[in-house]
Copies of this chain bind each other. A is one copy, B any other.
Amino acid sequence: MQFASDNWSGASPKVIDALAEAARAGGPAYGGDKITKLVERRFSEIFERDVAVFLVASGTFANALGISAYARAGGLVFCHRDAHIQVDEAGATEFFGGLKIVTLDAAQGKLAPATVREGLARHPEGQLHGGQPVLVSVTQMTELGAAYRPEEVAAIGEAAKSRGCALHMDGARFANAIAALGASPAEVTWRAGVDVLSFGGTKNGCVAAEAVVFFNPAHARDVGFVRQRAGQGFSKNWFIAAQLAAYLDQDHWLDLARKANAMGARLAKALERSADARLAFKPDGNEVFAILTREADARLKAAAAIYHPWSVECLRVSERPKAGEIFVRLVTNWKTAEGDVDRFAKHLRSR
């Protein structure tokens, strides 16, 4: 009963086999190998246009690298106050881009276009003291488990573009979002105004593999230098490429995400039915946020369930846990078994 995070799950056998095979073969260094080329082509197919792709080994660096391409002096990056780039990356966006983050608020981590416009309006053009807006970042799915629909992304994209800002999408759980939305990768990204995407693999069955996808390759002209200088221009670049080649092959990435999402839905249903719990948000994918009775929490912990308490500041004041309650995050993944979910459910009292 491991619901701590989708990054505890090891890697998918198909990905492992591909990685091992590439490691046995070896090949030219620094991306001169065939698998890297193949993966680059594959991304252009998946996104239905020519893209510039940079393979990296972590989501934090994927975000920092993508955002850095839009950095300018005094640059401001707008994102949700619970965004991974703001709370979980130890200042990577600021460090790599020389940028400053401005946070916005919204329910379930999902920015609203009006909030973005208001935030940007507080930094009028030519105001040197406060800095200049350069980029808006959204997380797909959000850190609180919601997927942006294409038209929602597009509206934020328009708000960003109205002030000359780029739109960045942190897609650490992009696969889960695509699986949930039934929209195409193109529809929720460049067709909706996204300039650069962190396409995640690690949380959904890879070992350490992320791709930074630029929908306008011209924007990426200096990105190779940023990656090299950061020590993520790997000599054995095929180690990431091999993982992604397997991950993208025959929609393996979507199969894995569908499985994770199905387990998330199963878990959410179990919580909804219980007298011990209520959902904090309706989950779109594999992240389930719930308020449990402390009693149920103790029962589950005793039964060796693993999950994390979460910050109540993500909730409106009226929705926060009351005395005797606790707010928790439960994450399913491609490896979660139905049996795990059902065993978890068995420890909850029914309504």
Contact = CB atoms under 8 A, between A and B. Distances in A.
A68 B74 CA distance: 13
Contacts of A23: 10-11, 15-16, 19, 207
A157 B326 CA distance: 33
A130 B30 CA distance: 14
Contact of A7 (B74, B202, B235): B235
Contacts of A321: none
Contact of A131 (B10, B60, B90, B99): B90
Contacts of A9: 26
A225 B13 contact: no
Interface in A38-93: 56-62, 64, 68, 72-75, 87-92
A235 B68 contact: no
Nearest to A226: B73
A231 B74 contact: no
B100 A91 contact: yes
Report the contact-size class of chain A (Cβ under 8 Å from the partner). Answer: 35 or more
Given A24-B11, A132-B225, A224-B128, A91 B74 contact: yes
Nearest to A123: B87
Contact of A129 (B87, B131, B202): B87
Interface of A: 4-5, 7-11, 13, 15-17, 19-20, 22-30, 56-62, 64, 68, 72-75, 87-92, 94-95, 98-101, 122, 128-132, 202-203, 207-208, 222-236, 239, 311, 335
A154 B17 CA distance: 46
B30 A74 contact: no
B73 A231 contact: no
Contact of A208 (B59, B68, B239): B239
Contacts of A131: 90-91, 225
Given A229-B89, A229-B92, A231-B230, A28 B16 contact: no
Contact of A228 (B19, B74, B203, B335): B74
Contacts of A225: 72-75, 90, 128, 131-132
A56 to B, nearest CB: 7
Nearest to A134: B222
Given A74-B91, A128-B90, A131-B225, A235 B202 contact: yes
B64 A231 contact: yes
Contact of A58 (B5, B100, B232): B232
Given A16-B23, A87-B130, A90-B129, 13 more contacts: A19-B20, A57-B232, A58-B231, A60-B229, A60-B233, A73-B222, A74-B226, A87-B129, A92-B228, A128-B228, A208-B236, A230-B230, A230-B231
Contacts of A26: 8-11, 335
Contacts of A59: 231, 235
18 contacts: A7-B235, A8-B29, A10-B236, A13-B24, A19-B20, A20-B20, A57-B208, A58-B234, A59-B231, A73-B229, A87-B130, A90-B129, A91-B99, A91-B100, A91-B131, A92-B228, A95-B230, A132-B225
A19 B239 CA distance: 12
